[in-house]
Chain A
């Protein structure tokens, strides 16, 4: 549609008209361009400089020191960073789990219930709620001795329930469960939009041919929502790299670094340990990771998605 409209535009012939049009164009996009230059492009430039520096910003610009590749070398040897990166990869498991639950919910809500809008709002609520407030509530629910979750588990006969966010073995899993709970609403709404785009007569035709529910799901629904699935997978993975709020409020990366994720580790390096150069390098790793996923998205879109 875009291409058609571009062709339809008559080309201004006179030079002055042309110039007037160009001036108008620049004026309209100027605020956005200036903003992006100052708040995104310029910081990227600063990031490249900081990567090769060793600087405690509290001491002022005079204390700025070049450090060559020191920060990169430290990163490669840093066990905490390795742990953090592995945590990030484990954390990615939330994406497919959340998508599976959301697709199931979306299918049920799309065709098999009354009060569709009511259910949409219900499952969307955690997503729209402030992460800070939600995290604080879960902190209390997961309280090892007093919390309702463990009280319930003891009541049904589990004498030794996990200590959830207080236990290094369970903390990351707890955070992941909460993260799935929050993201279900978003994934479900996007899946619902995808499902509504599937032509109804496909299902009717399949039913006449005697295809059961499972066959219809595997042969019609799944392939036809694959663009949505692909989109949710990519944005979900990118989003998992950016996770911060939940960690910052709930666990602060602990206990024993078991829930340290990249943005949290960067935050801690910069604002707790005041290692600006090192934090900047972690930011660069984050940047590159997201960039690689985006490139995979571009390359893979054609290959893996059935239109």
Chain B
């Protein structure tokens, strides 16, 4: 009875799989406990935040008040949201454009200097941005880019990583497409926009989502290159908010939820792209 034996074995592995799944589920809940605690605390009155045993679902709700203070208070989160969307959106747009152009140039245009220029670009990848923060800061003050959104956007617009990643994908575009388009009299720019770019669209989407998430979560650059309150991005505002409201933990947690949740939604919608992008040679922001 070989077939019977197989199903028996299969049933056994299925049972084992179910038990492992349940154990992993428990671990997952434990792993995400800080998030649950954060959400729960953001819904409570301040006095109930540290009651034990923890009321995971609050008995008395103060959610509307907490979130109203975060979004419409002295440091209104709606303003910081607009700032962050502006900075992250424009950074993504320019970075994708610059990287895609350069990637196509390095992958598909044949010119003698190309090889050397690509090596120079790759070499700068070894320079950690943190190492040159101080000279960048000096440069920004001299150029008048300090304390402007424009400067902040420029800072992340020239990504070696993006160029490298997109170049790998442009290389997979078959040369015959490009040669035949050339025969038809199309210039490189036309080939780029009409043929090559549509073919690597998934890679562009992946890079765009990653760049958006990284810029959204960036704390270090806004901290150093912005000074005025009204220009703050969400991360900077979050930190400021928690310093000012030191002992109001329910408010701070409402701010933290506001800082995390929208991006989690972007991630969950684009999770396939994000996970593919991370898997691709494991990129890191």
Contacts and interface: CB of A to CB of B under 8 A. Distances in A.
B217 A130 contact: yes
Contact of A132 (B32, B101, B235): B235
B139 A286 contact: no
A251 to B, nearest CB: 13
A305 interface: no
A40 B284 contact: no
A270 B134 contact: yes
A85 interface: no
A2 B238 CA distance: 46
Contact of A122 (B31, B52, B163, B189): B31
A57 B141 contact: yes
Nearest to A2: B171
Interface string B13-55: 0001110110010001001101101100100000000101010
Is chain B's interface secondary structure helix, strand, loop, or mixed overall? helix
A123 B179 CA distance: 46
Interface in B76-112: 97-99, 101-102, 104-106, 109-112
Nearest to A288: B131
A193 B234 CA distance: 33
A45 B138 CA distance: 12
B138 A57 contact: yes
Interface centre among B111, B157, B179, B192 (most CB of A within 10 A): B111
B128 interface: yes
A267 B137 CA distance: 11
B280 to A, nearest CB: 8
B282 A190 contact: yes
Is chain A's interface secondary structure helix, strand, loop, or mixed overall? helix
A-B pairs, 8 with minimum CB distance: A28-B105, A35-B158, A25-B111, A32-B102, A193-B279, A46-B135, A43-B135, A287-B131
A294 B128 CA distance: 11
B221 to A, nearest CB: 10
Nearest to B279: A193
Interface size on B, as a range, is 35 or more
Contacts of B119: none
Interface stretch (A160-168, A215-223, A277-285): A277-285
A126 B33 CA distance: 11
A284 B131 CA distance: 6
A29 B117 contact: yes
Interface in B150-183: 154-155, 157-158, 160, 163, 171-172, 175, 179
Contacts of A228: 282
B282 A25 contact: no
A136 B256 CA distance: 8
B35 to A, nearest CB: 7
B65 interface: no
A97 interface: no
A134 B37 CA distance: 12
A290 B32 contact: no
A103 interface: no
B71 interface: no
